[in-house]
Amino acid sequence: MRVIAHFPTPYEDELLYSVLARFQERMGYPAKSTVFVELFGTTNVVPEIELPHHLDKLISALPPTTATNSDWVIQKNTMLPLYAPFLSDRCYTSVVETMKRNNTHTPQLHAGLIQSRIKVPEFLRTCPICDLESVARHGETFWKRLHQIKGVEVCPVHLVFLESTNVRRYRIGASREFYSAQAGRRVLVPRAVDMSDRINQLLLQIADSAAWLLNKNIPPLGRFEINRRHRDLLAAHGFVKPDGRVNLNQLASSFSSS
C-alpha cells in the first residue's frame, strides 16, 4: 500500500496542480514518471490545471493524519466552484465523480470546457505582489486558482495586472510533468490597474466576481433557475416588455453605451 510522505499542505487558493508541483520539487525525483507512480500509483495521468482527476487514488495514499478528502480538495484546490452554479445537478455530479475516479479529459467534457470559445491564457500567470508576499510568508510562491481563470487579467487584491510566466499551459499535459511557480521565470515589477479607465474597471469587476464564485462554493442552480434569475434581473433594470419579452435592442444599446 502506497503512503505519500512529506506531502505539502496546500496554501489558500492554491491549485492542486501547484501542490503536486511543490511535492515533485521537494522530492527531487530523477525520473519524471516517478512522481506519478508515487502520487497516483500509475503513469497514466495527465496533469490538469482546472479539473484534475484520479483524486481518490491520491487521497488514499496520503497519511491517515491528513485531514482532507476528495470533496474538500475539489472545493478548495480546483476550478470546479467557478463552474458549479452554471451546471445542472446531473452534470455537476458527473464532473465530481470523474474527477474522483481514474478519468483523463472526461471532467472537462462534462463541464463543457472543451466546447468553450473563451481564449485560454497561453502561460500560467502570477501577481508580482502576491509572489513577494508568498515568498516572505512561506519561503516560496505558488500557482493561485484565481490567476489562471480565463478572462481574469488583474489581481483584485493588489489592483495590478497578472503577468505571464515562462510556463506554457499546453506544455503541461504534453510533457507529463509538474512545473512549480517558484521555479518558473516571473515578472517582478507590477503594473498598476488604472482605476480611471473604464476597461480596467471592468477587468477588476470580472476578477472580483470570479474570486467571489471560487470562495462561495455555490451549488448547481440548473438552467431553469439561472434563466429565472436572469429574467428577474433584466426586469428590475427595465429590459422586459409588458408582454414578457426581453427588449434586446434596448439591452444591446445599454451594453454599447456603458
What is the per-residue pLDDT across 141-157, written as a single tens digit (0 to 9) for each? Answer: 999 999 999 999 999 99
Q: Check if the beta carbon of residue 134 is closer than 8 Å to that of residue 142.
A: yes
pLDDT tens per residue across span 45-79:
888 899 999 999 999 998 877 768 999 999 999 99
Inside any domain, residue 120 = no
Average pLDDT of the residues of the chain: 88
Q: Is the pLDDT of residue 129 over 60?
A: yes
Last residue in a domain, options 111, 129, 152: 111
Q: How many domains does the chain have?
A: 2
Q: Check if the beta carbon of residue 52 is closer than 8 Å to that of residue 78.
A: yes
Neighbours of 182 (CB within 10 A): 19
pLDDT tens per residue across span 1-13:
577 888 999 999 9
Inside any domain, residue 252 = yes
Last residue in a domain, options 87, 111, 135: 111
pLDDT of residue 116: 60
**pTM for this one?**
0.86
Last residue in a domain, options 72, 91, 111: 111
Burial of 192 (0-12, 13-18, 19+ CB in 10 A): exposed
| Helix, strand, coil abundance in the chain, percent, nearest 5 | 50, 5, 45
Map grid coordinates 474522483 to a residue. Answer: 100
pLDDT tens per residue across span 18-49:
999 999 999 988 888 899 999 998 888 888 89
Burial of 141 (0-12, 13-18, 19+ CB in 10 A): buried
pLDDT of residue 140: 98
Map grid coordinates 512545473 to a residue. Answer: 179
Inside any domain, residue 140 = no
Inside any domain, residue 100 = yes
CA distances from 246 to 86, 222, 242 (A): 21, 21, 9
Which residue range forms the structural domain that includes residue 243? 223-257
pLDDT of residue 251: 81
User: What does the DSSP 8-state code read for residue 87?
Assistant: S
CA 103, CA 68: separation in Å to the nearest integer?
Answer: 21
CA 147, CA 16: separation in Å to the nearest integer?
Answer: 14
Inside any domain, residue 248 = yes
Inside any domain, residue 230 = yes
How does residue 112 score in pLDDT terms, banded at 50, 70 and 90? low
Burial of 183 (0-12, 13-18, 19+ CB in 10 A): middle
Burial of 194 (0-12, 13-18, 19+ CB in 10 A): exposed
How does residue 82 score in pLDDT terms, banded at 50, 70 and 90? very high
Q: 3-class SS at 234? A: helix
Inside any domain, residue 82 = yes
Residue 188 zone, left/alpha/beta (φ > 0; ψ -120 to 50; rest): alpha
pLDDT of residue 45: 86
Q: Kind and range of the H or E element at 72?
A: helix 70-77
Residue (of 79, 166, 184, 175) closest to 122 by Cα position: 166
Inside any domain, residue 30 = yes
pLDDT tens per residue across span 165-211:
999 987 776 667 899 999 999 999 999 999 999 999 999 999 999 99
Q: Is the pLDDT of residue 256 over 80?
A: no
